[in-house]
């Protein structure tokens, strides 16, 4: 239920064994703590003040065992493999570690494209929701005859365009074709002004002309489909 940030103690713990179908059991504990055994490369969870509820398939009753302390072996594939520092993924780095990696790579005469992209991505991605929110309002506003289909389809289209720009920018940024910071902010800089423009049109109760064209095209296609489905 909760974790003490200072001590790392887990509180209000529930564990369920999903592998034992014939004899399933559930463990409840007031608190617990994770421990590692470097010698055996194992990780286990020590639970305190709890109960083990044992059941059997086809039988209505179950057994309850109370305990003061109970160790659960967290056998992740049998052993806990410790990954060397050199094999850590960039997304696992903190911002300070990324800055150190960038500075070290530059000092060695290299181009830290991957680290720069990861670094700036953490600043750019939170603003995606702002761009989508500004785009969503004008796309949702439309004449009653168009219904919700136009806004829905345009929303999918805009999302696809955004992530195409983002992935293309990431590739260009890693290669150094464009500055890495620009590669992550490029979708925002392209779609952001469009979102503000559409939002201002919606505030003035006006609509973007291409959306009306899309409505008319959708109505024409729907009319042709209805005409083709009529019995001869």
Per residue, the 3-state secondary structure of 48-79, as one string, reads EEEEEEEECCCCCCEEEEEEEEEEEECCCCCC
Per-domain residue ranges for the chain? 2-73, 86-224
Q: What is the tens place of the pLDDT at every residue in 10-49? A: 888 887 765 665 667 788 888 888 877 655 566 778 888 8
pLDDT at residue 81 is higher than 50: no
Q: Could you tell me the two tokens for 201?
A: 């049109």
Q: Could you tell me the two tokens for 103?
A: 């500075």
pLDDT at residue 73 is higher than 60: yes
When pLDDT is cut at 50, 70 and 90, the band that residue 213 belongs to is: low
Q: What is the tens place of the pLDDT at every residue in 91-116? A: 778 888 899 999 999 999 999 999 99
- Is-contact 73 46, C-beta < 8 A? no
User: Which residues, 6+ apart, have CB-to-CB distance to 166 below 8 Å?
Assistant: 184, 186, 187
When pLDDT is cut at 50, 70 and 90, the band that residue 230 belongs to is: low
Position 80 scores a pLDDT of: 41
> Residue 79 gets which letter from DSSP?
S
pLDDT at residue 78 is higher than 50: no
Q: Give pTM, 2 decimals.
A: 0.51
């Amino acid at each position: 239920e909760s974790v003490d940030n200072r001590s790392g103690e887990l509180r209000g713990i529930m564990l369920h064994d999903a592998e034992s179908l014939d004899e399933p059991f559930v463990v409840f504990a007031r608190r617990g703590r994770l421990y590692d055994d470097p010698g055996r490369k194992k990780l286990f969870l020590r639970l305190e003040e709890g109960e083990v509820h044992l059941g059997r398939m086809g039988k209505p009753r179950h057994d309850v065992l109370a305990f003061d302390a109970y160790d659960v072996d967290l056998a992740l594939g049998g052993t806990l493999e410790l990954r060397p520092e050199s094999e850590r993924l960039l997304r696992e780095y903190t911002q300070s570690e990324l800055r150190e990696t960038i500075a070290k790579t530059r000092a060695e005469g290299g181009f830290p494209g991957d680290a720069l992209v990861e670094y700036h991505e953490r600043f750019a991605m939170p603003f995606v929701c702002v761009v989508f929110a500004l785009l969503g309002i004008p796309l949702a506003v439309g004449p009653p005859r168009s219904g919700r289909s136009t806004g829905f389809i345009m929303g999918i289209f805009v999302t696809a365009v955004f992530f195409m720009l983002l992935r293309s920018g990431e590739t260009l940024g890693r290669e150094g074709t464009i500055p890495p910071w620009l590669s992550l902010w490029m979708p925002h800089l392209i779609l952001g002004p469009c979102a503000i423009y559409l939002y201002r049109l919606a505030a003035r109760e006006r609509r973007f002309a291409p959306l009306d064209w899309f409505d008319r095209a959708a109505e024409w296609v729907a009319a042709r489909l209805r005409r083709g489905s009529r019995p001869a």
